[in-house]
A and B are shown apart, each in its own frame.
Chain A
Amino acid sequence: MVFTASARRVLQSKGAVAGLCVLGVLALAALAAPLLPLSNPIQIDAPHALYSPGTPYLFGSDQYGRDVLSRVVYGGRVSLMVGPIAVGIALVPGVAVGLLAGFYGRWVDVLLMRVVDVMLAFPGILLALGIVAVLGPSLTSLMIAVGISSIPTYARLTRASVLSARENLYVDAARVVGAPDRTILLRHILPNVVAPVIVVGTLGVGAAILVAATLSFLGLGSQPPTAEWGRMLSEGRQYLREQWWIATFPGLAIMLTVLALNMLGDGLRDALDPRLRV
């Protein structure tokens, strides 16, 4: 009931629907990439280097003769995988920390939140950079790095929701009838956390895709010859003056994906949790 009501409200938001459609198309293309009539995204084909957009390459070809369209579509597989996995890595410990800190309070709260504070002392991509430095540049360490560095967001968000949820009468009622802490936490408090976490998580996927593309652009994420949007931009930038298409299409792809996720996230926020509105 609640779910269908929320779903209806999400679908009433034009932005959310537009975001959902764009994401659907991108995800479908990424998933179906091997089935589509696209040339191999990593096979070097020197004689066909630097064709401008049109025929035979809709988005042109890059300096190695690879089809830019094909690389953009295959790059979507990387970005659309990195974003959700990184958020997943952040979500599980983040929500757990927030639940424990908010529910038990006292020294548990103080201890956990001090750790979160220390992580928050590393602004923006600094923590992710530090983690990549330790693990070495690769796609896997990039996902771990982006994931770990966003744990504080979910920990704080969850804690705040728990603090208000635990004041509810039904929590007292559950305690009175002798429900163990675990039941109270998972059955009565966790559902209150779900809505804000879904909203922030959706926006977080977009943010994770941005950070991942940024680190790959800096040469610290996916390694060549993998088709990855950030990497494609960095490889295409020396051709900016004459062969603008090499860097432009992957850039558009990143922006479109993140824009769609932000629009969906905004729509979800308005539908599920208007309090979060900034």
Chain B
Amino acid sequence: MNAYLARRVVATVPVLFGVSLLVFSMLALVPGDPVQLMLSEFQTTPEQIARLRSQLHLDEPLPVQFGRFVWNAVRGDLGTSIRTRRPVTTEIADNFPATLQLALAGLLVAGILGVSLGVIAAANQHSWLELGSMLLALIGVSMPSFWLGLLLIFGLSLRLRLLPATGGGDLAHLVLPAITLGLGAAAILARLTRSSMLEVLRQEYVTTARAKGLAEWLVIGRHALKNALIPVVTIFGLQFGQLLAGTFVVETVFARPGLGRLIIDGILNKDFPMVQGVVLVVAVSYVLVNLLVDLMYAVLDPRIRYA
């Protein structure tokens, strides 16, 4: 298994290389002159344009630029924001915790809600409970998160005044955004849990457990659930990435600070160092989280042989 772990870690290197190449290429792929585009919002002199060009090392050959980009990124230098004139790394470091907090809270909502809905549906197959929970899941996948967020704001904060609508900070501010973010993922997890649970409930050890007269909730809770959750855990890593990117939208709806604000303002203001920085950091975190999930999976489930 150690060989598998090592190979899995090594396989991440080319992916990280490709990710940085792609992020680096963004500037080169911009139609027209990236420097003039970035400064199009400002009054500039040709000297200022030339200064920014050399500051960004755009006068060097592309391979040299790429080498510098990677080397700087590894040392934690992602350049300077065109708009705020602060280092991109500082901006990201200031905003990452809020985004991470929201993503984790969303994952928690998705996990609890998704797994319970899936188990309820599987344990009550062919009943209205199954139909209801799967219908709920179908609506969850089809619902745009920004609209769900607006509905929650409208219902729970503007009308019922239960929870604050916008802003960041304490736990109360986290509830609505976390539900908004987590519901879509919950729907996916619910569908997966249900089918995995149905599969497990057909196994012989479940029949044995029932045959010895165990209560149904014990059969499901103690014998079936653990095994049914294996495929669910695998897609947790994938879902985490989806949620991390999903926070961008939810943050906008709830006017929360975070990476979403950075990247969207960055795109609208053509602040390329900022956009590249956020894209790179999120993609690299996602790759690393998936690596971690895979490694944990290998440790947790010794049945699986990695050829």
Contacts and interface: CB of A to CB of B under 8 A. Distances in A.
B267 interface: yes
A123 interface: yes
A255 B287 contact: no
Interface stretch (A50-58, A130-138, A187-195): A130-138
Contact of A220 (B151, B242, B267, B279): B267
A219 B246 CA distance: 16
Contacts of B275: 129-130, 133
Nearest to A206: B142
B283 A126 contact: yes
A130 B23 contact: yes
Interface stretch (A70-78, A114-122, A152-160, A165-173): A114-122
Given A129-B263, A278-B192, A240 B158 contact: yes
A121 B22 CA distance: 11
B146 A233 contact: yes
A213 interface: yes
B31 interface: yes
A233 B145 CA distance: 12
Contacts of A135: 31
Interface stretch (B11-19, B62-70, B215-223): B11-19
B170 to A, nearest CB: 23
B258 to A, nearest CB: 13
A210 B184 CA distance: 12
A81 interface: no
A10 interface: no
Interface in A68-122: 114-115, 117-119, 121-122
Contacts of B129: none
Interface string B27-62: 001110000000000000000000000000000000
Interface in A254-278: 254-255, 258-259, 262-263, 266, 277-278
B252 interface: yes
Contact of A278 (B150, B154, B191, B263): B191
Contacts of B23: 130
Given A126-B283, A135-B31, A251-B144, A259 B139 contact: yes
A213 B146 CA distance: 9
A233 B141 CA distance: 19
B286 to A, nearest CB: 5
A133 B267 contact: yes
B279 A240 contact: no
A114 B242 contact: no
Interface in A212-248: 213-214, 217-220, 230, 233-234, 237, 240-241, 244, 247
Contact of A133 (B15, B31, B253, B272): B272
A45 to B, nearest CB: 25
A153 to B, nearest CB: 12
B241 A123 contact: yes
A251 B147 contact: yes
A117 B279 CA distance: 16
Contacts of A244: 154
B264 A123 contact: no
A19 to B, nearest CB: 10
A34 interface: no
A258 B141 CA distance: 9
Contact of A124 (B26, B31, B242, B268): B242
Nearest to B196: A278
B249 interface: yes
A263 B139 CA distance: 10
B138 interface: yes
Interface in B276-298: 279, 282-283, 286-287
Given A117-B15, A126-B283, A129-B279, A134 B26 contact: yes
Nearest to B146: A217
Contacts of A114: 14-15, 18
A20 interface: no
Given A121-B19, A255-B142, 13 more contacts: A117-B18, A118-B21, A121-B16, A122-B245, A122-B286, A125-B245, A130-B26, A133-B266, A244-B154, A251-B151, A254-B147, A255-B143, A258-B141
Which 10 residue pairs of A and B lie closest in terms of their CB atoms, listed nearest first?
A123-B241, A118-B18, A124-B245, A251-B147, A259-B142, A258-B142, A126-B245, A133-B267, A124-B242, A133-B275
28 contacts: A117-B14, A117-B15, A118-B19, A121-B16, A122-B245, A123-B244, A125-B249, A126-B279, A126-B283, A130-B23, A133-B267, A134-B26, A134-B29, A135-B31, A136-B31, A137-B267, A206-B142, A213-B144, A218-B248, A220-B267, A233-B150, A240-B150, A247-B147, A255-B139, A255-B143, A259-B139, A266-B138, A277-B195
